Copies of this chain bind each other. A is one copy, B any other.
Amino acid sequence: MKPYAEMTREELLELKKKLKAEYKEYQSKELKLDMSRGKPSIEQLDLSMGMMDVLGSDSDLTCEDGTDCRNYGVLDGISEAKELLADMMEVHPDQIIIYGNSSLNVMYDTVSRSMTHGVMGNTPWCKLDKVKFLCPVPGYDRHFAITEYFGIEMVNVPMTPDGPDMDMVEELVSSDESIKGIWCVPKYSNPQGISYADDTVRRFARLEPAAADFRIYWDNAYTVHHLYDRGQDHLIEILAECKRAGNPDMVYKFASTSKISFPGSGIAAIAASQNNLVDIKKQLRIQTIGHDKVNQLRHVRYFGGIHGLVEHMKKHADILRPKFEAVNEILTRELDGLGICTWTNPRGGYFMSFDSMDGCAKEIVARCKKAGLVMTGAGATYPYGKDPHDSNIRIAPSYPPLGDLKMAMELFALCVKLVSVEKLLSEMPQENAQ
């Protein structure tokens, strides 16, 4: 099929009629498909059921240093859990604190602490007139929700295929003392699946922030979430790079096992320099006596170590890969060459990013919904839910079974075509109109 832009009004009208008929047929099927969030599928959850067996009533719940995991204590995590998460996060066990079940919670608490108590002796942000965060866009809605909740002004920074626009990041960070952070999902980014290029990471490590308490919020959520065993994306380890660059304290790194074992029942961690860890623990010891050590032990005993965890991730990949490939195939088959959209085709993570023609995303998502398919809300990938081009849509292929996913993506492609045709028609000069 030829690009829509080259079609005549008559051709477009004809096409619209055909697409509308197809759409009506979908509506009659009363579908209930949900692709709104990056949730693992039931099949993926089943992969970790063995974790329910590793601790039993006859188990010794003592960890390597003799700590009884059943009792109070151990603020920053048992040593074997630190080793597992440190291996996963590519840092030394001494560089991390193990938290509870959610890295989002760790990030929230990190911002909250900065608001009330400041960062390493700097003025608490709640005492400042203005605090800003840089937000590479498109990005992760729950990151933006945290900064919005705390009244932090968010500044969009466009993503490039190599990561955030670093010219802009460098310029802003070095000139504006009110910029205190930047949200990053540096590997298999949410939603584009982009991994930051080596040069991008190096430029991050070499930033010269105007604010002494500027921190890179490095949410390495998908560090081991490859779709392919060969041809994995590689990311330069940011803590070591910052240290080499003379900026050891400039980054907080976050990760969790949410999409490795069970989302909501995993373990999360922060990695940072000693100075930062000391600063964080001052607060953490007031907030809690310690996190769930039994669950830490459960994870360690189940995975055995980083190799076991990596092998486990291959099983996830085997389930996820066909889904990502199906999405790409359907989009290619249905939309390639029409000149009405682009999309990413990442090699890991949980999302693909789709860009329609400007001004079409909200309407595409709305049409999908009316036919029974819930996509992530258009705009969700931008701060304040405001996509200036109204073009970006996040695709989350993980949760639906493959058959449902294929139907969903066919419906999605149909909605893209229909809305695009309508858009093009609306922009054409009316016949007989003077």
Contacts and interface: CB of A to CB of B under 8 A. Distances in A.
B289 A102 contact: yes
A193 to B, nearest CB: 20
A108 B287 contact: yes
B283 A264 contact: no
B293 A72 contact: no
Interface string A61-87: 100000011111100000000000000
Interface residues of A, number: 58
A55 B57 contact: no
Contact of A288 (B42, B71, B108): B108
Interface string A23-52: 000000000000001011010010011111
A101 interface: yes
B295 A72 contact: no
A286 interface: yes
Contacts of A283: 149
B288 A265 contact: no
Nearest to A148: B286
Given A108-B287, A264-B291, A264-B292, A72 B116 contact: no
A65 to B, nearest CB: 16
Given A262-B294, A264-B291, A265-B293, A68 B55 contact: no
A298 to B, nearest CB: 9
Nearest to A258: B72
Contacts of A109: 287
A10 interface: no
A88 interface: no
Contacts of A70: 45, 48, 262-265
Contacts of A126: 115-116, 124, 126-127
Interface in A93-122: 100-102, 104-105, 108-109, 112, 115-117
Contacts of A39: 71-73
A53 interface: yes
Contact of A264 (B53, B258, B293): B293
A383 to B, nearest CB: 14
A264 B286 contact: no
Given A116-B126, A288-B105, A72 B294 contact: no
B116 A112 contact: yes
A287 B70 CA distance: 26
Contacts of A57: 49-53
B264 A108 contact: no
For A49, A52, A108, which residue has the most chain B Cβ atoms within 10 angstroms? A52
24 contacts: A49-B57, A49-B58, A52-B56, A52-B57, A69-B264, A70-B263, A70-B265, A72-B258, A72-B263, A72-B264, A100-B101, A102-B288, A104-B288, A105-B288, A116-B116, A117-B149, A142-B289, A149-B283, A149-B286, A264-B289, A264-B290, A264-B293, A265-B292, A292-B295
